[in-house]
Amino acid sequence: MAKRRKRRPVGRRRQAEQGPGPRKAVELVAGEYTREVGRVPSAATFFRFGLVNVETRNLLGKVFSMVGPIVRVRDKDRVDQIMRARTAQEVIDLVHLAGGLGEDAWHKRMSEFGPEVLPLIAERLRTARQAHRKRDEIDSVYERLIADLRWRGNAGAEVLMACFDDLNDYGRSLACVVLGLLGARAGADRMWAFYEKVAHTQGSHRIGALWGLIDLKDERVSEALVGRLIKRDVFYEMFGFLSLAGNERAVGPLLWAAPQVPQKDRSQPLMALVSIAHRIGRDGLVAELEKHLAPDRPQDVDLVANETFCISASEAEEYFGLFYRGLRPGDLSRMTEGMRRPTGGVRR
């Protein structure tokens, strides 16, 4: 006779998987909160900042044109090769030269071709991992080809959807960014599945998925962000994302995160809260505050609500300006400030 297995109490791991209730969630965020907000945007965020609109693309082109003579001499051969290419296939075959000044030259050449280039891009995306051994080379190919598809409308989105499963995780992250910018709602479930796959990994591939879903106004994003905030997983984009897409469920965790993050980062959760408050209205904010503030101090609810609505939605939007618009001339230096610090660097 088979022995009956004893039922074990639900362990911490299973409880974590089931998720905490609203009040417990706030308690978790209010616990020891020693991690500072990430200093540097992920590679997916840098990638998107350069593709938001045509004005941004033109700004980056001007940046390339302002380089000094040393860089021009260094990159002259690669630019000349790209400019001598006669066909779309030849230009695509030179994608590995699209670095430095070669990148601007390569994109300009690609813009000369129409729909006939789409099957060539698709083939190169599918075979990049076989054609290149080094990860950096593969990722570079993905960056250039996927960026080109940003400007090819629905046809570009169709290529990305068709090739999505052939890409590595970095390529899928970038593909999510472009699919979001192109408004490819048909790709939302695939992007969400990719996010769930990489959400708990150490890399930043999840950021590209979140960007795509935010641009598609997918309602699942807010819950995903609240889950990361509760676990004190605060990356560079966290509060900008909550400003863009957070819902009422984020109010409590943001209230408790604000005094727990380092002083220099404290305005970020508060400004994200302002954006959410204007989205859900005063009644919605008060309802959430009543859940999380001391019930014997109703005056605190009115105080927090009044102070929150003293700041306009447009002020919060400008505070997180890079998340709402394309690059402006002064943004590049501010955005890369963290890269000059010892622990800086673009996150992939």
HEC assignment per residue over 203-242: CCHHHHHHHHHHHCCCCHHHHHHHHHHHCCCCCCCHHHHH
pLDDT band at 15 (very low <50, low <70, confident <90, very high): very low
Q: Is the pLDDT of residue 30 over 50?
A: no
Asked if residues 245 and 229 have their Cβ atoms less than 8 Å apart, the reply is no
Q: Is the pLDDT of residue 122 over 90?
A: yes
Query: Residue 104: what pLDDT?
Result: 87
User: pLDDT tens for residues 294-334?
Assistant: 777 878 899 999 999 999 999 999 999 989 987 776 666 55
Query: Residue 64: what pLDDT?
Result: 61
Pull the structure tokens for residue 270. 């508060």
**φ, ψ at 347 (rounded to 5°):** -95, 125
Give the range among 70-74, 114-118, 327-331 with minimum mean pLDDT.
327-331
pLDDT band at 254 (very low <50, low <70, confident <90, very high): very high
User: pLDDT tens for residues 226-236?
Assistant: 999 998 888 99
Query: Residue 166: what pLDDT?
Result: 96
Query: Residue 68: what pLDDT?
Result: 67
Taking residues 1-8, what's their average pLDDT? 45
Query: Residue 202: what pLDDT?
Result: 67
Query: Residue 156: what pLDDT?
Result: 98
Q: Is the pLDDT of residue 35 over 50?
A: no
pLDDT band at 277 (very low <50, low <70, confident <90, very high): very high
Report the distance separating Cα 72 and Cα 51, nearest Å: 24
Q: Is the pLDDT of residue 113 over 90?
A: yes
Taking residues 209-227, what's their average pLDDT? 96
Q: What share of the chain is helix, strand, coil (3-state, %, to 5)?
A: 70, 0, 30
Residue 138: which H helix or E strand, with range?
Answer: helix 135-149
Q: What is the pTM (predicted TM-score) of this model? A: 0.82
Q: Is the pLDDT of residue 336 over 90?
A: no
Using the CB atoms, write b or e for 158-175: b if 16+ within 10 Å: bbbeebbeebebbbbbbb
Taking residues 10-38, what's their average pLDDT? 41
Taking residues 23-38, what's their average pLDDT? 43
Average pLDDT of every residue of the chain: 83
Instruction: Return the higher-pLDDT residue of 317 and 26.
Output: 317
Query: Residue 23: what pLDDT?
Result: 37
pLDDT band at 253 (very low <50, low <70, confident <90, very high): very high
